Amino acid sequence: MKRAGYIATVKTEGIDEYKRYHADVWPEMRDALKRAGFQKFTIFMRPNGVTFAYCEVEESLAKAFENVGKEEVNARWGEVMARKRPDTPSVEQTPRPLLPPKGTTGLSLGTPPRWRASD
């Protein structure tokens, strides 16, 4: 199991809808993520729409994204999420892995907070 994370951005006007979708991820999307190798997936969001996603994957974040990219449901989910992303790509919009330095196990920050659609 590998731990990884990435940063992305949500449009300010799309934050509420983004939270609603992620509070109730489609069952078929959850299944696709599991088949792709994602074991755990938690998203943290700042008020400005910058997100940090922490995940645990079987092989690597790149491989898990490659695998889920082959799933039909991922294309549908991606269309919905694309409407919540900025039109101009930015560093924060492009998922990029954040991995603990070699030889370390990373940092444990305790139980991650969860937000609800009503937050």
Catalytic residues: 22
Please name the amino acid found at residue 81: M
H-helix or E-strand spanning residue 32: helix 27-36
User: Which candidate, 23, 7, 4, 11, places its Cα nearest to that of 81?
Assistant: 11
Buried/exposed code over 82-102 (b: 16+ C-beta within 10 A; e: otherwise): eebbeeeeeebbeeeeeeeee
Helix, strand or coil, per DSSP, at residue 71: coil
Place of tokens 């078929």: 28
